[in-house]
Amino acid sequence: MIDLLPLFMIITLMLFLFSGYPVGFVLVGVTSLFSMIAIFADLMSVAKLQLFALRSYSMLAESLVFSAVVPLILMGVILARSGQIESFMSVISRAFRWLPGSLPITVLVVGILIAPSAGLIGAAVGTLTIATLPALLKQGYSPKVATSAVAAAGTLGIILPPAVMLFFLADLTELPIIETFTGVLYPAALIFGLYAVYFMINAKAVPADQIVYPVSESIAVSIVKVTGPIVVVGSVLVSIASGWVTPTQSGSIGAFAAFLLMVATRPVSLNLLKEICVETATIVAMVFLIIIAANAFTLVFRVLDGDQMVENFLIAMNLGAWGTLIFVLFVVFVLGFIIDWLEIVVISLPIFMPILVELDFSAHVGDPLLVKVWFATLFALVLQTSFVTPPFGFALFFLRGSAPPEVTMSDIYRGAVPIVFLQLIVLSLVLAVPWLATSIASSIN
């Protein structure tokens, strides 16, 4: 019975998560419940509890990666709150109105620009839906195609550099951030290409009389509106790729650039600045509450030999290297139905990673660093797909929640199917041809 304590811990966690009480506190609640049991059963000393504060401190303090989350989120909040997306969309959709599917493809570009810094998938998809879905519907796209575009853009953006998610994947797989960034580039480019072709085939060109946005500005202003957000997000990527600055500094460059853009293009009130800061602090606090709580959870889970239990279980299943990898990816995929990437990444990776790194993929992929890049890319792709897979896909509910009432859940489901299909094509390609994920990383090293 005592051996099964970690299993009960996971089951209790799953049950309590559905109570709807904040995830971070549920994690801590379950942890304190089981540490009491462990202390009474003499499996754990009271002194071990002190590790909680010590680990929370040492994890966040002196971390070069985690402090980068603040400026990145700030950049995303500024871009979203200052109306940059709407003006970006209006200019591009006017310029390319003759091209079939131009507006959905514009939405994809917007997703690439703002979703990486939105933090959680819920925030990314919610922001995108509010900013882009009404325009898509007004221009006469069917709800199916319109929601398809938003779901595609939000989930593509959540895995692209400088995505907040990649910072946490890098931390938990013990990879340098640059290598993690490079892994998703080719797969994401492939996905983008497939989406673009899909939207060109499935969406007609918009007749001139249906153009939503009025033409009332000079070309110079239009150019600023289009290049502004690209320069802001680009500044983060270029500075981080140059190797000159730490991730936090490159995030700060991006946040500062976004701030300059906002000041240059619109009147800025003190109240707006206050709202931007409070929103940023809110997202940061909700992300790191979960990080700290999950850290406490894994601490006790390990003390109870939970990692050993999972390893024994996987060994007993005798699936081989490929079978184990697919099994783990499948578990992550199913978890993506109900919880956001953050909870999945911080709870499941500490349990699965030690087992995965033991598997021998050297013949298929190459040296251990490249194998990790491959793993991180696979995790990112699997999470992306699980968020849009009907009927549970986590992102789909956020889409519904932020969409106008005439868009039904079945529109959203029908829109999601081709997206999932295209993503699965790329996922299997990356599984079969690891080169797609590792080629840039191997040329850097």
CA distances (Å), origin 249, targets 96, 183, 256, 281: 36, 22, 10, 18
Interatomic CA distance for residues 109 and 217, integer angstroms: 22
Q: Which two tokens stand for residue 187?
A: 């797969």
Query: How far from the centroid of its chain's Cα atoms is residue 114's Cα?
Result: 11
Q: What angle (nearest 5°) sits at the alpha carbon of residue 213, between those of residues 82 and 141?
A: 105
Is residue 20 involved in binding another protein (CB under 8 A)?
yes
Selected binder of another protein within 25, 313, 330, 421 (CB under 8 A): 25
Distances (CA, A) of 100 to 64, 88, 381, 419: 44, 19, 28, 18
Q: Which of 2, 11, 53, 433 binds another protein (CB under 8 A)?
A: 53
Determine if 334 is a binding residue for another protein (CB under 8 A).
no
DSSP helix/strand/coil, 389? coil
Distance CA 322, CA 269 (A): 56
Q: Which of 142, 202, 222, 249 binds another protein (CB under 8 A)?
A: 249
Among 24, 162, 187, 415, the residue binding another protein under the rule CB under 8 A is: 24
Of 353, 377, 350, which is closest to residue 166 (Cα–Cα)?
A: 377
For position 301 contacting another protein by CB under 8 A, the verdict is no
Residue 130 CB, shortest distance to another protein, in Å, is: 17
Would you say 142 or 249 has its CB closer to another protein?
249
Binding flag, residue 65, another protein (CB under 8 A): no
Q: How near is the Cβ of 47 to another protein at its closest, in Å?
A: 11
Distance in angstroms (rounded) separating the CA atoms of residues 105 and 111: 10
Number of residues that bind another protein (CB under 8 A): 62
Burial 276-299 (b: 16+ CB within 10 A, else e): beebbeebbebbbbbbbbbbbbbb
Q: Is 265 in the site for another protein (CB under 8 A)?
A: no
What is the smallest separation between the CB atom of 73 and another protein, expressed in angstroms? 9
Give one DSSP letter per residue of 48-99, joined into a string. Answer: GGGHHHHHHHHHHTT-TTGGGHHHHHHHHHHHHHTTHHHHHHHHHHHHTTTS
Residue 47 lies near another protein (rule: CB under 8 A): no
**Does 17 sit near another protein (CB under 8 A)?**
yes
Whether the Cβ atoms of residue 217 and residue 151 lie closer than 8 Å to each other: no
Contact 125, 398 (CB under 8 A): yes
Told to check if 341 binds another protein by CB under 8 A, we report no
Q: Is 280 in the site for another protein (CB under 8 A)?
A: yes
Q: Is residue 278 at the binding interface for another protein, with CB under 8 A as the rule?
A: yes
Largest alpha-carbon pair distance within the chain?
76
Nearer to another protein, 92 or 236 (CB): 236
Cβ closest to another protein, residue 61 vs residue 201: 61
Instruction: Report, in Å, the least distance between residue 26 CB and another protein.
Output: 6
| Cβ nearer to another protein, comparing 253 with 399 | 253
With contact defined as beta carbons under 8 Å apart, do 38 and 4 qualify? no
User: Is 336 a binder of another protein (CB under 8 A)?
Assistant: no
**66 touches another protein by CB under 8 A:** yes
Helices assigned H by DSSP within 213-367: 219-242, 247-265, 270-303, 306-317, 320-338, 341-358
Residue 53 or 317: the one with the smaller Cβ distance to another protein is: 53
Q: Find the shortest distance in angstroms from Cβ 8 to another protein.
A: 16
Does position 40 bind another protein by CB under 8 A? no
Binding mask 100-119 for another protein (x = CB under 8 A): --------------------
Residues 150-209 that bind another protein (CB under 8 A): none
Cβ of residue 111: shortest distance to another protein, in angstroms?
21
Examine residue 385 and tell whether it contacts another protein (CB under 8 A): no
The amino acid at residue 213 is Y
Per CB under 8 A, 391 contacts another protein? no
Cβ count within 10 A of residue 317: 11
Should residue 273 be labelled a site residue for another protein when binding is judged by CB under 8 A?
Answer: yes
Of residues 88, 141, 167, 288, which one binds another protein by CB under 8 A?
Answer: 288
- Whether residue 44 contacts residue 35, with contact meaning beta carbons closer than 8 Å, is answered with yes
Per-residue contact string for residues 393-422; x = within reach of another protein by CB under 8 A: ----x-------------------------
Q: Cα(316)–Cα(41) distance, rounded to whole angstroms?
A: 27
Q: Which helix (H) or strand (E) holds 399?
A: helix 394-402
* Angle (CA) 419 364 336, round 5°: 35
Binding site for another protein (CB under 8 A): 17-26, 28-30, 32-33, 49-50, 52-54, 56-57, 60-63, 66-67, 70-71, 74, 120, 122, 244-245, 248-249, 251-253, 255-256, 273-274, 277-278, 280-282, 284-286, 288-290, 293, 338-340, 342-343, 397
